A and B are shown apart, each in its own frame.
Chain A
Amino acid sequence: MNATEMSSLLRFVANKMIASEPELTRLDMAVGDGDHGVGMQRGFTAVEKLLSQAPGQAEDIGVLLTRVGTELMSSMGGASGAIFGTLFRAGGKSLTGETVLTTPLLSRFLSSGLDAVCKRGGAKPGDKTMVDALAAAAAVSQSLGSEPLYAALPKIARAAGQGAEGTKQMVAAFGRAKALGERSIGHPDPGAVSMSLILSFMAEGIKRHEPVAL
Chain B
Amino acid sequence: MRKPKKLLNNPIDVCREQLEGLIAACGGSLQKIDGISAVVRAGLRDEQVLVLTGGGSGHEPMFAGYVGDGLADAAALGDIFTSPAPNVIMDTVKSANRGKGALFIYGNYAGDNMNFDIAAELLEEEGIPTRTVRVNDDMASAPAHRMQDRRGVAGDMMVLKIAGAAGRHSRELDEVCRLAAKANDNTRTIGVALSPCSLPQTGEFNFDIPEDEFELGMGIHGEPGVRRQKMVPADQLVTELVDSLYGDLALATGDEICLLVNNLGASTYSELLIANRKVHQLLAERGIRIHDTLIGSYCTSQEMSGYSITFFKLDDELKSLYDAPCHSFAWRK
In the assembled complex, 15 residue pairs joining A and B whose CB atoms fall closer than 8 Å, in A order, are A29-B204, A29-B206, A33-B81, A34-B81, A39-B82, A73-B118, A74-B85, A76-B82, A77-B88, A77-B115, A79-B83, A80-B111, A81-B85, A82-B114, A175-B110
Binds B, one of A145-153, A176-184, A197-205: A176-184
B229 within 8 Å of A by Cβ? no
Q: Which residues of B contact A178 (CB under 8 A)?
A: 149
A87: shortest Cβ distance to chain B, in Å?
Answer: 12
Binds A, one of B63-71, B215-223, B275-283: B215-223
A78 within 8 Å of B by Cβ? yes
Are the C-beta atoms of B114 and A83 separated by less than 8 Å? Answer: yes
Interface residue tally for chain B (C-beta within 8 Å): 33
Are the C-beta atoms of A33 and B114 separated by less than 8 Å? Answer: no
Considering the chains assembled together, what is the distance between the CA atoms of A80 and B202 in angstroms? Answer: 18
* Chain B contact residues, CB within 8 Å of chain A: 56, 78-88, 109-111, 114-115, 117-118, 141, 149, 199, 201-202, 204, 206-207, 219, 221-225
A102 within 8 Å of B by Cβ? no
A155 within 8 Å of B by Cβ? no
Enumerate A185-204 residues with CB–CB distance to B below 8 Å: none
B265: shortest Cβ distance to chain A, in Å?
Answer: 15
Interface centre among B81, B109, B110, B199 (most CB of A within 10 A): B110
Are the C-beta atoms of B118 and A39 separated by less than 8 Å? Answer: no
Are the C-beta atoms of A77 and B114 separated by less than 8 Å? Answer: no
Q: Which residues of A contact B149 (CB under 8 A)?
A: 178
Q: Which residues of A contact B219 (CB under 8 A)?
A: 176, 179
Are the C-beta atoms of B79 and A82 separated by less than 8 Å? Answer: no
Q: Which residues of B contact A39 (CB under 8 A)?
A: 79, 82
Q: Which residues of B contact A76 (CB under 8 A)?
A: 82, 85
Which partner residue on chain A sits nearest B140 by CB separation? A179
Are the C-beta atoms of A38 and B202 separated by less than 8 Å? Answer: yes
Are the C-beta atoms of A79 and B223 separated by less than 8 Å? Answer: no
Q: Which residues of B contact A75 (CB under 8 A)?
A: 85
Enumerate A6-61 residues with CB–CB distance to B below 8 Å: 25, 29, 33-35, 37-39, 42
Considering the chains assembled together, what is the distance between the CA atoms of A33 and B201 in angstroms? Answer: 12
Q: Which residues of A contact B202 (CB under 8 A)?
A: 25, 29, 34, 37-38
Which partner residue on chain B sits nearest A29 by CB separation? B206
Q: Which residues of B contact A86 (CB under 8 A)?
A: 118
Residues A121 and B114 in contact in the complex (CB < 8 Å), given A33-B222, A179-B219, A180-B224: yes
Considering the chains assembled together, what is the distance between the CA atoms of A37 and B80 in angstroms? Answer: 13
A130: shortest Cβ distance to chain B, in Å?
Answer: 12
